[in-house]
């Protein structure tokens, strides 16, 4: 089983490829549909995911897709279950298994992610539905005194318990400790907090017997706070992020698949590109983007069947740009390709 986990983890960070996070909760995708004036019905959600998953050639750049509980049970227009459709294109199906961040008891302003109860049985079911990897997200707020040791270790413990259960079920765990970049903090403060979070995470993963060669890390990038008066540039972000990761992430981890957070589409690509340009690194540096891969496609589609091809072109373009960033060859001028189509 460990060999299979290692192979799947490596396949998810194959050269030039990354992961599409299409695991928005019903509440989150409603907000995205509201932004384009589309009602968030089950059929509209299915149609939108169908647009993404059937995009011709996307498998050139996309290695895996994280699905939501509703989505993993849905099918394409021709009746093919989404996990089967993805697998037929060489794309590995995955599944979000956490049940969201909830208020952490006796810790005002902090959260802990829930979903461990019944997880063993759910993982067994998801594997039967075709999932070969999973994702669990924990969140940490940056403040003058936050996050607390209590929050950092509570979430590290839960992430490790989740990872161990995944590996027991033959599923590769993506561990996602997201240090939220909202606020006015400096890039130095972001790096300090991210370091603290990663140190606790890998201590817990080791203590709970998780084989890190069969895992992937999905972290935040080290950024200045989104409301900071002075924001660090692309090269500074790349340097700070790589420095932090090199201090705490074991070389045995096959890959790091960044989340995009609140970054613009092009910023997320540029930051990834700059980090890869600093290589070689002991692990693959890739992407696991949601909004930063989907936003242009969602806008182009607008809920209209006649716009499906336009939406697919927009998604394909963003996937191609991030693939280029995997090898450090992305340039802003490449963004003009889509306009020329």
Active-site positions?
A: 176, 218
CA gap 89, 22 in Å, rounded: 17
DSSP string across 277-302? HT---SSEEEEEESHHHHHHHHHHHT
Six token digits for residue 273: 């590109």
Task: Evaluate the CA torsion angle 10, 136, 212, 283 in order and state its sign.
Answer: positive
CA gap 43, 46 in Å, rounded: 5
CA gap 297, 307 in Å, rounded: 10
Please, are residues 179 and 137 in contact by the beta-carbon 8 Å criterion?
Answer: no
Helix, strand, coil in percent for the chain, rounding step 5: 50, 15, 35
CA gap 45, 30 in Å, rounded: 9
The separation between the first and the last C-alpha atoms of the chain, rounded to the nearest angstrom, is 45
Q: Which pairing describes strands 133-141 and 18-21: parallel, antiparallel, or unpaired?
A: unpaired
Please, are residues 151 and 107 in contact by the beta-carbon 8 Å criterion?
Answer: yes
What's 327's DSSP letter? Answer: T
């Amino acid at each position: 089983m460990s060999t299979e986990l290692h192979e799947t983890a490596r396949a998810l960070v194959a050269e030039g490829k990354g992961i599409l996070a299409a695991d928005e909760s019903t509440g989150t995708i409603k907000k995205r549909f509201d932004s384009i004036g589309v009602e968030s019905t089950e059929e509209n959600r299915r149609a939108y995911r169908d647009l993404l998953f059937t995009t011709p050639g996307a498998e050139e750049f996309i290695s895996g897709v994280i699905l939501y509980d509703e989505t993993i049970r849905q099918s394409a227009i021709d009746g093919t279950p989404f996990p089967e459709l993805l697998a037929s294109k060489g794309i590995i199906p995955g599944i979000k298994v956490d049940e969201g961040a909830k208020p952490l008891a006796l810790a005002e302003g902090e959260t802990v992610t829930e979903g461990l109860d019944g997880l063993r049985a759910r993982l067994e079911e998801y594997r039967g539905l075709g999932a070969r990897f999973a994702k669990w997200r924990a969140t940490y707020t940056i403040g003058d005194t936050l996050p607390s040791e209590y929050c950092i270790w509570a979430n590290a413990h839960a992430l490790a318990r989740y990872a161990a259960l995944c590996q027991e079920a033959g599923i590769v765990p993506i561990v996602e400790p997201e240090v939220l970049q909202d606020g006015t903090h400096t890039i130095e403060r972001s790096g300090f907090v991210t370091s603290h979070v990663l140190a606790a995470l890998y201590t817990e993963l080791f203590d709970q017997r998780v084989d890190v060669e069969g895992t992937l890390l999905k972290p935040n990038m080290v950024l200045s706070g989104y409301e900071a008066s002075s924001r660090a540039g692309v090269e500074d972000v790349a340097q700070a992020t790589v420095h932090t990761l090199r201090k705490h992430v074991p070389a045995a981890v096959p890959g790091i698949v960044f989340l995009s957070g609140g970054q613009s589409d092009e910023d997320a690509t540029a930051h990834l590109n700059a980090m890869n340009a600093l290589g070689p690194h002991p692990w693959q540096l890739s992407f696991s983007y949601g909004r930063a891969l989907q936003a242009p496609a969602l806008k182009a589609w607008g809920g209209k069947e006649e716009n499906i091809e336009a939406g697919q072109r927009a998604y394909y373009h963003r996937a191609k740009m991030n693939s280029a960033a995997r090898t450090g060859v992305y340039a802003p001028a490449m963004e003009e390709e889509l306009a020329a189509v």
